[in-house]
Structure 1
Amino acid sequence: MYTTTEFQQLLEDKLRRKRGKEIKEADDKDVYEAVASIVQDSITEDWLETRQRYEKRNERQIYYISMEFLIGRLMESNLMNCGLLDVCSDALRQLGRDPESVYNQEHDAGLGNGGLGRLAACFLDSMASLKYAGHGSGIRYRYGLFEQRIIHGNQVELPDYWLKEAYAWETRKANESLKIYFGGEVHSHARADGSLEFTYKHADEVLAVPYDVPIVGYRNNVVNTLRLWSAELPEHEAEIPGDSESRYYHHLDHMHSVEQISGFLYPDDSSLEGRELRLKQQYFLVSSTIQNILREYKANGGSIRELHKKTAIQINDTHPSLAVPELMRLLMDEERLSWEEAWKITTAVLAYTNHTTLSEALEKWPVDLVQQLLPRIFMIINEINERFCRGLWFDHPDMRLDIPHLAIIADDQVHMARLAIVGSHSVNGVAHLHTEILKKREMNRFYRLYPEKFNNKTNGITHRRWLLQVNRGLADVVTEAIGPQWISQPQKLSGLVRYSNDAAFLEAAGQVKQENKKVLAELIQKRTGIHVNENSIFDVQIKRLHEYKRQLLNIFHIIHLYNELKDNPSLDLTPRTFIFGAKAAPGYYMAKEIIKLVHHVASIVNEDPVIGDRLKVVFLENYNVSLAEKIIPAADLSEQISTASKEASGTGNMKMMMNGALTIGTLDGANIEIKDLVGPSNIFIFGLSSEEVHRYYAEGGYNAKDLYHTDERIRRILDQLHGGEFGSQEIEFKDLFYHILYHNDPYFVLKDFDSYVVTQELVEQAYRDPRHWQKMSVANTAYSGKFSSDRTIHEYASDIWKLTPVRS
């Protein structure tokens, strides 16, 4: 550990040696890179010792495979976990530098999109902080999802080239590269012992090069690894032939096609080429990861027949489901195990997390595509399917009629979720309601077949980043009240309950919230030019733009309030600032129309002199982790208003709850568990239940046009979109109008509107009593410890992975 003076001297020395500059002539980027170098030096020894400890003690290890790891910026997190954040910040200030300006030099890593990737990042943090031998495995995308720009209210996607500058936290391990094969022909030959040997001809060879990123545990000297794979040309193809121009250009095309595999997160799959690239990415990830796992396991002296005793692999969503046939391939073709031996090991090693109840999100691949791109893998999938269906026919005659709904290959498609379920020993949902829906509806046939496989693991967030790091003011108030034990034992946050009537504590927490709102208001002014009332309700909806998440319901409420104020300018309304952050998938037309509508409504509401600062609408473009870290501590109201049964869990609800925001939401995902903890008096619940939603889907009985004709507020809002005040000839929202009315409001926006408006009035009344609101806020922070990812990881480790923390 350094003193402030020692850190200053070290920083100045780094600048001279690394950048050839004195502190007075260095810019913030120079200083950032010098600080990163100091932190890397601090981490490296622990990183090496952690790996050696795992190998020496032959620890059981978990490998978490995910297409996304939304790790955000690592500088402050790494400094904090190393115990250097305060020392570094003080040293920078004494050198005349603004710490935040220095830390902001880091670009958010473009390795994820939303909740799935942020969950994976939180899990890695908890694994390291709890001393579990855990590793992440993903793809090193050169470009993130996209950089969002809003031009005339429309989303425009620009490349997010986050790697245009060297990434301070990664280490290239070229000597540990592996080969991946696509396409070609598979030939089988009988070995002397009667087993089959498979060889490949004319296959495309791709090199998987690992880049390691340290995952630093909180002040415990544990540093785990996130290994990211980059696709490159094999060395023997890197030489450009000079005797033929056509061969030269063929080489460039081939190099481009290889590099595309780790080029973009979620390439557009509306074309055959795009679908093929996505499938390539998924196989590239699982093949490189599992080859690496077996290589390291054998290098440590492990018997391949006991792999399942020392190794666990978690498949995060359906994307890495090809881990099932790939592990089978390696065990049979490379390790020469029988089918039965390989299958026993594979199913014992693999576990699958499902993240959705949306059938369209459960991936399926055309048989022809899989067969052409991954011929040996398809052979194995086909054999798995044949054996599985045969077992159903003979061992479960009562389920014979269900075979078309259970078969891994059906309707000329390979069903990836089915493959993951059949090839794993555990299938978990990510919130109690979500798991129950999987068991009772979406995967009921599989649940009847494998009831022992299904279990729930409610998601969590790392309280170290989402409270201790991003909201230091509140963290300090909490620590002063109940001591620092909550940092290592987040359930101890419940001790705040005894302060719910402590006037001094409530005032201190309230002052922190007000200061956070001031900071966010300044950021909004800087980025958008919009001045917002810091004493207004900061009403926040930040998440991916999707119809089921119902940003549209939020906007309809804003239009309703605007209409109320226009009809009665003297209406006694508590001022509100509505804050949105969201990206829409590039090909998702309706989602992009909703973004356009948010901006159009904002342009009218924000400029209306009758409204003044009583209503403001703000859309902060290019929503990412770093922006979330500014918004969440300032939120008063957390909008979690998805159509009941559609949101698997949510983690934004947990982050805002932890920072003292109150939730307005449906009985969906983890909202239910939040309500059960804080009690109905500390949350605002509205709308249809999941059972009611399911009943409408199954039996009908809902007609959106009836509400249009009978609810004057709804008719007025929709008419305003259809050529009225919010839908002029220049800017039309007729498609939203017709989609709601003529597709019968598929996500029940109109059905839940009245309940939502009434509940929002309750929010307003509660906010008018600052002491009562602050008591509700403290209750939410107090009970948020349950939603720490530490709890979630302990449950995974105990119930699925069979891991225990590694002794120091």
Structure 2
Amino acid sequence: MFHSKDEFKASFSQRLEQTAGVSFANSTKQHQYQALGMMVREFVSTNWIVSNEEIRQSGQKEVYYLSIEFLLGRLLVSSLVNLGVKDMVESGLQELGIDLSELEEAEADAGLGNGGLGRLAACFLDSMASLKLSGHGHGIRYKHGLFEQKIIDGYQVELPEQWLRNGNVWEVRKPDLAIEVPFWGDVQWIEKNGKLTFVHEHAETVLAVPFDMPVLGYDTTRVNTLRLWGAEPAKHYPPHKDFMQYKRDTEQISEFLYPNDMSNDGKILRLKQQYFLVRSSLKSIINDYKENHSDLYDFHEHVAIHINDTHPAIAIPELMRIFIDEEGMKWDQAWTIVTNTISYTNHTILSEAMEKWSIDLFKPLFPRIYMIVEEINERFCKELWREYPGDWDRIEQMAIIAHGFVKMAHLSIVGSHSVNGVAKLHTEILKKREMKNFHEFYPERFSNKTNGITHRRWLLQANPELTSSISKAIGTNWIAEPQQLAELEKFANDSSFQLEIDEMKQKKKRELAKIIFDRDFLAVDEHSIFDVQIKRLHAYKRQLLNVLHIMHLYNRMKEDSSFRPHPRTFIFGAKAAPGYEYAKKVIKLIHSVANIVNYDPISKDTLRVVFLDNYRVSLAEKIIPATNVSEQISTASKEASGTGNMKFMMNGAVTLGTLDGANVEIGDLVGPENLFIFGLKAEEIMHFEKYGGYHSHDYYHNDRRIKQVVDQLTSGFFRDSYYDFETLSDSLLMENDQYFLLKDFSAYADAQDQVAAAYADRKRWLNMSIHNIAHSGFFSSDRTVSEYAKDIWNVHPLS
């Protein structure tokens, strides 16, 4: 059906009328999208089946990537790109009077993730398939995702994210492969043939039903699987419970991504989600494995299970439970297989973000799993005692269970053979500070695997104009080997290539300006600097520093009529977690600043502030190619890596940032002359945190600019928000500015001046932009996944 344009047009017209039940002339964009999506899924089904058969017959090792998030974005166009038929389909649709971009807009972003964790998982799936690795994802089929963000009077309002309103054309429901998942109950043990056997009784059981989605590789017939689990009532429900209440409790498990865990009920629901994902995934993996193997003693030779952060860490005791309780293995034998099967990626440096769960919640919910975690902890502490006799402090710090909590990061390290960070700086901080004791005990387990992004989505798909310019300059081999983008360096000073890049960027800025106008009725200057900060809203990411600087620019313009900064459009996009009051106040502040700056005659022709609500992958694909300045201004030592910085770089934006996360490696690659670095270094931050010596009041009293903007938060300057920003002011002064915004303010303002000066020198700026594109190939997720495959998973491409 995709072999020629005429064949495609005939198949599409026929399929549209068959599936929609209406004539072609009366079909809607949704009908047309559904028909094309079904054609694509059916087209790849043969290769999907063949891929699964090939791996079974070859006996090669398979990777299973367990993640609580998979932030996929839209799949229609990326599928057409990977199949190599996008141009043909686009042309055929055009002849039928259909615009492919309009069909793309009919597709909802899959509500399966929120931020970098989920987007990394999606990029990894793309790379595994494109590299012909047998690698599959396992996640949860959230019915509503996180939330749909609306802004009302500057305040964030959360609405259900109904991404499944029109179904999901990419999935195949497989109820015959459903898995039972038990909660609560109690554990009995019986002696059988001289051996203790544990039985989980009186449990409340739910059904995990798999929904499979094909994962296409680029220019390959390899098709992997993303298996998402939906929660449904089991056949036998608890007799003591009302059925409707049981049904509601069950369906809640896969209802929302990250339910609010401010209450115990919310915490229990999150724990249920984690075990639901792990139990169903491991049973499914083992069921498939048993079809081709008589026993499980070589399981780790054929299966690699990777846990993406600590959310799936219960996989360690659950796999032990299966091996011991169901397969009859002895502890030491099972433990060897488990630890050689499981590997773990850490995604955070913030100690408060390290998952830990109260025993009072964990133990009754998972009675048998808690027994196994206790045993793992007991054996581990005995090992520590042998290594560090009498060092109770160290043992206490490293214990998996301590002070009434189960520590999931500790469990993940002890129960795996590999622990990796996601940027060089992040990994060094883990080894030397956050996980220092573990690194000393298990030095061979720790490694770095710097994050990557799929250049197929973030360049080929998001920016076909730039893709075309690159390919005209250096050929197309870079698509298969992205590090060949380095050949662009020789064009950095080429006037004609610079002009082409400049015109491409201007076209993308014009397109984004139209989106902004259509959404907000706000006209922005297409020739201004598009200065962008789009990422999850958190105090350490320091969106507040950005806003305080905008306020400072405005103040200067009001006070000095001769001061006219280079025209800027400041663009924000971010969701604040529903219970995160500080982050919600920052969103309100952005809107309050916009209400003044965008309409004051003094500033409105020079400064614009834009907040694009409901930030998501499909919106990022429009923003990133249009960006001039990439704001990566987190407090040094707090951002594990970042991947937005890589996407901006790949599209020719220049980084303004701290030496944090992967910014360090970006700087190493492009050189200090091709980005703007400011602020405290990681070791300086950590010194202040350990020994003190930073007093935010000193900067408030000694820098007039800082005092002015901080005072404006609570002085009535924002008439629409008289009491809204006390929380923000208190964080800076009363709480001593935990993330060092005031300390870095002056350096940030100076760096912004340097940005403006560089942008005014067009030849210099375009040289910087091209250098960034040229060195972005290192950050392809193909490189990252290849490193995982070789160093951690020990898997190889299928021939």
2-structure distance, mates of 1:264, 1:737: 33
* 1:561 equivalent in alignment to 2:562: no
Among 259, 267, 271, the residue aligned to 2:263: 271
Is it true that 1:342 corresponds to 2:337 in the alignment? Answer: no
Residue 165 of structure 1 aligns with which residue? 166
> Using the alignment, how far apart are the partners of 1:571 and 1:31 within structure 2?
53
Do 1:350 and 1:423's aligned partners in 2 also have CA atoms closer than 8 Å? Answer: yes
Q: Confirm or deny that 1:30 pairs with 2:31.
A: yes
Q: Could you tell me how far apart the structure 1 residues matched to 2:720 and 2:302 are?
A: 64
Whether the 8 Å contact between 2:147 and 2:159 is mirrored in structure 1 is yes
Shift of 1:21: 2.8
Q: What SS class does the counterpart of residue 379 from structure 1 fall into?
A: helix
Matched, 1:403 2:404: no
- The aligned residue for residue 133 of structure 1 is 134
Q: Is this contact kept in 2: 1:727–1:733, CA < 8 A?
A: no
| Pick aligned residue for 1:616 from 608, 611, 621 | 608
The match for 2:627 among 627, 635, 638 is 635
Gaps of 5+ in 2: none
Q: What residue is the counterpart of 2:3 in the other structure?
A: 2
Quote the Cα distance in structure 2 between the aligned partners of 1:501 and 1:568. 37
- Contact persistence 1:477–1:509 (CA under 8 A): yes
CA distance in 2 between partners of 1:768 and 1:654 (Å) = 24
Kindly state the Cα deviation for residue 729 of structure 1 after the two structures are TM-superposed. Answer: 6.3
Letter in 2 for 1:563: N
Residue of structure 1 equivalent to 2:175: 174
Alignment partners' CA distance in 2, 1:618 and 1:805: 45
Give the one of 451, 456, 471 matched to 2:448. Answer: 456
Moved over 6 A (4+): none
Per the alignment, residue 52 of structure 1 pairs with: 53
What secondary structure, in the 3-state scheme, does the structure 1 residue paired with 2:741 have? Answer: coil
Where do 1:302-317 residues align within 5 Å?
302-317=294-309
- Give the 3 Å change call, closer, same or farther, for CA 113–347 of structure 1 in structure 2: same
Aligned twin of 1:221: 221
Amino acid at match of 1:552: L
Distance 2:664 2:468 in 1: 29
Alignment deviations for residues 32-55 of structure 1 (CA, whole Å, 9 cap, x no partner): 111111111211111111001110
Partner of 1:290: 282
2:557–2:564 Cα contact (<8 Å) kept: no
Match of 1:367 among 359, 362, 369: 359
Q: Separation in 1 of the partners of 2:359 and 2:601?
A: 60
> What CA distance in whole angstroms lies between the structure 2 residues aligned with 1:37 and 1:142?
21
- Pairwise CA distance, 1:722: 1.5
Q: Relative to structure 1, is the Cα distance of residues 727 and 429 closer, same or farther in structure 2, using a 3 angstrom cutoff? A: farther
2:597 equivalent to 1:605: yes
Matched, 1:783 2:784: no
The answer for the alignment partner of 1:197 in structure 2 is 197
**Secondary structure in structure 2 of the residue aligned to 1:197:** strand
2:178 and 2:512 map into 1 onto residues whose CA distance is 45
1:341-399 Cα deviation digits (max 9, x unpaired): 00000000000100001111111111121110000000000000011101111233275
Match among 521, 528, 536 for residue 529 of structure 1: 521
Conservation of the 8 A alpha-carbon contact between 2:715 and 2:722? no
Aligned residue in 1 for 2:582: 590
Q: Is the 8 A contact 2:714 2:722 kept in 1?
A: no
* CA distance in structure 2 between the aligned counterparts of 1:418 and 1:185, rounded to whole angstroms: 26
Contact 1:569 1:611 in 2 (8 A): no
CA separation in 1, counterparts of 2:208 and 2:367? Answer: 20
- Corresponding residue for residue 431 of structure 1: 423
Whether contact under 8 Å (1:494, 1:782) holds in the other structure is: yes
Aligned identity (percent) is 53
**Whole-Å separation in 2 of the counterparts to 1:123 and 1:569:** 52
Q: What amino acid does structure 2 have at the position aligned with 1:328?
A: M
In structure 1, the partner of 2:370 is 378
Partner of 1:720: 712
Structure 2 residue 235 is the aligned partner of structure 1 residue 235: yes
**Residues 1:546 and 2:547 are matched in the alignment:** no
Q: Is the 8 A contact 1:723 1:729 kept in 2?
A: no
SS in 1 for 2:447: strand
Deviations 1:562-617 (A, max 9, x none): 11111223324210000000000001111100000000000000001111321000
Deviation at 1:731, TM superposition (A): 5.3
> 8 Å contact 1:211–1:227 — kept in the other structure?
yes
1:128–1:224 contact (8 Å) kept in structure 2: yes
- In structure 1, distance between residues paired with 2:650 and 2:294: 43
Helix, strand or coil at the partner of 2:775: helix
**One-letter amino acid of the structure 2 residue matched with residue 75 of structure 1:** L
Change (3 A) 1:302 1:559: farther
Distance across 2 between alignment mates of 1:339 and 1:436: 33
Q: What's the secondary structure of 1:538's corresponding residue? A: strand
TM-score by length of 2: 0.99
Letter in 2 for 1:225: T
After TM superposition, give the deviation of residue 310 of structure 1 in Å.
0.4
> What is the letter of the counterpart of residue 750 of structure 1?
L
Deviation of the 1:139 alpha carbon:
0.4
Query: Hey, what's the Cα distance between the residues in 2 that align with 1:302 and 1:721?
Result: 68
2:502–2:766 contact (8 Å) kept in structure 1: yes
1:237 Cα shift? 4.4
**Aligned partners of 1:122, 1:394: CA distance in 2, in Å?**
43
Task: Determine the structure 1 residue equivalent to 2:460.
Answer: 468
Which of the residues 738, 741, 762 maps onto 2:733? 741
| Alignment of 1:253 onto 2:242 | no
Q: 2:644 aligns with which of 652, 657, 674?
A: 652
Q: Which amino acid aligns with 2:498?
A: L
Task: Specify the alignment match of 1:244 in structure 2.
Answer: none
| Aligned partners of 1:392 and 1:400 also within 8 Å | no
Query: Which one of 781, 790, 796 corresponds to residue 788 of structure 2?
Result: 796
3-state secondary structure, aligned to 1:305: coil
Distance 1:100 1:52 in 2: 35
1:556 counterpart SS class:
helix
Deviations 1:423-462 (A, max 9, x none): 0000000000000000000000000100000000000000
Of 368-377 and 672-681, more deviation after overlay is shown by 368-377
Residue 765 of structure 1 corresponds to which residue in structure 2? 757
> Counterparts of 1:634 and 1:302 in 2: how far apart (Å)?
56
- Measure, in 1, the Cα distance between the counterparts of 2:345 and 2:310: 8
C-alpha separation in 2, matches of 1:557 and 1:92: 47
Cα 1:471/1:389, change in 2 over 3 Å: same
Q: Partner of 1:149 in structure 2?
A: 150
Structure 2 residue matching 1:750: 3-state secondary structure: helix
Give the letter for the 1:61 counterpart.
Answer: E
Q: Offset of 1:2 from its aligned partner?
A: 2.4
The equivalent of 1:511 in structure 2 is: 503
User: Letter of the aligned partner of 2:231 in structure 1?
Assistant: A
C-alpha distance in 1 between matches for 2:118 and 2:671: 30
Distance across 2 between alignment mates of 1:513 and 1:334: 59
Q: CA deviation at 1:159?
A: 0.7
**In 1, Cα distance between the equivalents of 2:28 and 2:562?**
52
Larger deviation, residues 512-521 vs 297-306: 297-306
2:708, 2:200 → 1: CA distance?
66
Q: Is the aligned partner of 1:501 residue 2:469?
A: no
Q: Give the conservation status (yes or no) of the 8 Å contact 1:540–1:580.
A: yes
Residues 684-693 or 7-16, more deviating: 7-16
What SS does the aligned partner of 2:213 have? strand
- Looking at structure 2, the residues matched to 686 and 726 of structure 1 have their Cα atoms a distance apart, in angstroms, of 29
Cα 1:302/1:360, change in 2 over 3 Å = farther
**2:71 aligns to what?**
70
SS state of the match for residue 752, structure 1? helix
Residue 579 of structure 1, aligned match among 556, 571, 585: 571
2:698 paired residue number: 706
1:518, distance to aligned residue in structure 2 (A): 0.2
CA distance in 2, matches of 1:116, 1:569: 46
Structure 1: how far apart are the matches of 2:561 and 2:152?
32
TM-score (norm 1): 0.97
Count of matched residue pairs: 798
